[in-house]
Homo-oligomer: A and B are copies of this chain.
Amino acid sequence: MSESPEITLAEKIKHSAAKKLVSIVFQPEGLRAQVPEGTTVMDAARKVGIDIVAPCGGIGECGKCKVEIFKGKISETSADQFWLTEKERQRGFRLACMARVNQDVVVRIPFATRLFSQKILTTGSGEPVDLDPCVRKFFVQMKPPDVVDQRGDFERLLDTLGLNRSEYSVNVEFLHQLSNRFRKADYSGTAVFVGNQLVDFQPEDTTSKQFAVALDVGTTTIVGTLINLKAGEQVEVMSQMNPQMSFGDDLISRIDYASTHPMGVLELQRRVVRAINDLIAEAAEKADVFREDIYEIVMVGNTAMHHIFLGLPPQFLGQAPFAPTIQSSVRVASKELGLKIYPRGQVYTFPNIAGFVGGDAVSVALATGLTERKGNYLAVDIGTNGEILLAVNGHLLAASAAAGPAFEGARISQGMRGTTGAIERIQIKDNRLVLEVIENVPPIGICGSGLIDAVAELRRVGLIDQTGRMVESTDENANLPDEISRRLIDHSHGKAFVLATEEEAGIGQPILITQKDVRELQLAKGAIAAAVNILLKEAGLSAQDLDEILLAGAFGNYLDRVSARRIGLIPPVPVEKIRFVGNAASGGAQMAVVSKEARRKAEKIAREARHIELSVRPDFQEEFMDAMFFPKIEDSE
């Protein structure tokens, strides 16, 4: 058999190579590989499908591929000595690209070292966050029990995943099925954790199917964002009207209804839950995701929306001293609220700051990193209940402004949300009226940004005076070109301005801005501007001291900054200091979906923010009256 020396050599090599196989186990998955002695941890990880970050290409020149040697030893390399602290090295950290395996080892790959742990950016404004969601799925292959290893099934799972037994528990409902599930799947499958609780064990590798929803429940609009937790990516964004609108379009009407009707709060809760269920079902269907693969909902909303969502009576929010039932974040089983996702799914609600400054304001502060910057920053979340945040070197002042729903198109005679057919941009150029309509169809109404533009332009050309009154076309001060002045008509609400004639509009009647619409806008912007002014006063600052103004809100990027400043919605600062941050309330919720650290930050923001209650300020009425007027043209340009 061994006449040929080549064969003998080959056999020898084969033999010696076979002898040199060592075993490497990767935690927390418990994935195992047999590799020839001398293989790098990075290559071994690749073999079992774990990709490790290696910006330098795996040549020891970036120091990013830190892993922890859990059991067994791997000697230090000079790259380790260069990139890692002594403490890290002592704790067993090594660079995966340089670490060569020469004995059986167990290696933990931190999330930050994994390729799927990319920094993700959830909003245009927020800081990127590490992907470290509350919901986690692990594909795991366990060694089945035998007579010398009789560990409990649950402990076997935790041990295989390298999770500390004293930190994890198991959902008792699922516990009933656990042993049968493990055995049917031959101890190989996907463990599902929500927080530190094991809630499921699924046959096969289902780690690609893990989703959560960031939910922004506004007084007028609900926005839901479906997020793929493995990739840390938005999958779908959906919005719809809050069906509680039929109980009144402002918070006070809702609170009244809930307080004066038996089961009123439950009725309001059921409405909003049904709408959320519809929204989630629709988003899931569009994204081709099963609702049962959605494991968590993170909810932000103002305090009244928060209370109603949880079924807490909101009545005390409606009367002085407006104390909420709870400020802290709340965790509750999704099924307890009637939300149709994974049956043992969970809901996390953002912490509130005060009775009218809720989790949505916290979420804006979180998404914009407001408390993490040096300088003076003003963030205004424009909505039916507007939140005003002023951060002075990280110290946060917060107030709420009952703007009403004008910005979202409600209470405006031909107002509508910013969807197809809405006039979103208006300019008067060369004495002609130029409209931009969403999706370029004949206009059917006007949305918030269009309304602000319209009023700002009419103000600029002098058709609206400083008090908000639409001038008579015969007014001596009105030196208006014919093209504009003939659009000014009489109307049951006083004057009105024709944005689109019956022929131009798509609804068989003209689209108007009435005197009453202007008054609604004045009330709305006055409430916000008064709140801004009081916060500035409280901090001893003036508009000139602001480093930046962040505009948040559902109609975010559509607003024209010059128009907003011209009508006095925001203080007179150079336009380049005004930045849109989109729906930052939703952005913060999305950060909390993918990052436990973001939740800790949110709790801290809520705990440390100083709330300024405007209703008890003797100067509020005066500020409000002042702020309802429009600035002089020269002051606002």
A260 at the binding interface (Cβ < 8 Å): no
Binds B, one of A80-88, A206-214, A308-316, A518-526: A308-316
What is the CA–CA distance of A323 and B147 in the complex, to the nearest angstrom?
9
What is the CA–CA distance of A150 and B176 in the complex, to the nearest angstrom?
44
Given contacts A155-B326, A327-B152, A331-B169, contact A321 B147 (CB under 8 A): yes
Residues in chain B near residue A156, CB distance under 8 A: 323
Partner pick for A152 among B147, B149, B170, B352, CB 8 A cutoff:
B352
Binds B, one of A178-186, A289-297, A457-465: A178-186
Say yes or no: B611 contacts A150, CB within 8 Å: yes
Residue with the highest number of chain B CB atoms closer than 10 Å, among A153, A183, A607? A153
Smallest Cβ-Cβ distance to A149: which chain B residue: B321
A620 at the binding interface (Cβ < 8 Å): no
What is the CA–CA distance of A146 and B327 in the complex, to the nearest angstrom?
16
Given contacts A166-B603, A332-B172, contact A326 B178 (CB under 8 A): yes
Say yes or no: A607 contacts B152, CB within 8 Å: no
Say yes or no: A325 contacts B151, CB within 8 Å: no
A558 at the binding interface (Cβ < 8 Å): no
Residues in chain B near residue A325, CB distance under 8 A: 152-154, 175, 178-179
Residues in chain B near residue A323, CB distance under 8 A: 145, 150-153, 156, 179
Smallest Cβ-Cβ distance to A323: which chain B residue: B145
Residue with the highest number of chain B CB atoms closer than 10 Å, among A149, A169, A176? A176
Size range of the chain A interface in the assembly:
35 or more
Residues in chain B near residue A324, CB distance under 8 A: 150, 152-153
Residue with the highest number of chain B CB atoms closer than 10 Å, among A152, A310, A316, A336? A152
Say yes or no: B328 contacts A183, CB within 8 Å: no
Say yes or no: B310 contacts A175, CB within 8 Å: yes
What is the CA–CA distance of A152 and B320 in the complex, to the nearest angstrom?
13
Given contacts A166-B603, A316-B183, A323-B145, contact A328 B176 (CB under 8 A): no
Say yes or no: A152 contacts B330, CB within 8 Å: no
Partner pick for A165 among B147, B150, B315, B607, CB 8 A cutoff:
B607
Minimum distance in angstroms from A474 CB to a CB of chain B: 49
What is the CA–CA distance of A352 and B355 in the complex, to the nearest angstrom?
47
What is the CA–CA distance of A401 and B124 in the complex, to the nearest angstrom?
66
Minimum distance in angstroms from A606 CB to a CB of chain B: 10
A247 at the binding interface (Cβ < 8 Å): no
A613 at the binding interface (Cβ < 8 Å): yes
Given contacts A310-B175, A336-B172, contact A328 B154 (CB under 8 A): yes
Say yes or no: A150 contacts B180, CB within 8 Å: no
Say yes or no: A153 contacts B321, CB within 8 Å: no
Smallest Cβ-Cβ distance to A600: which chain B residue: B166
Partner pick for A312 among B175, B315, B332, B611, CB 8 A cutoff:
B175
Say yes or no: A327 contacts B175, CB within 8 Å: no
What is the CA–CA distance of A154 and B146 in the complex, to the nearest angstrom?
50
A1 at the binding interface (Cβ < 8 Å): no
Complex A-B: 27 CB contacts under 8 Å: A147-B320, A150-B324, A150-B354, A150-B355, A150-B613, A151-B327, A152-B325, A152-B327, A153-B323, A153-B324, A153-B326, A154-B328, A155-B326, A165-B328, A169-B328, A169-B330, A170-B328, A170-B330, A172-B330, A175-B326, A175-B330, A176-B311, A178-B312, A179-B312, A179-B313, A179-B316, A179-B323
What are the nearest 4 A-B pairs in CB distance? Answer: A152-B327, A145-B323, A154-B326, A147-B616
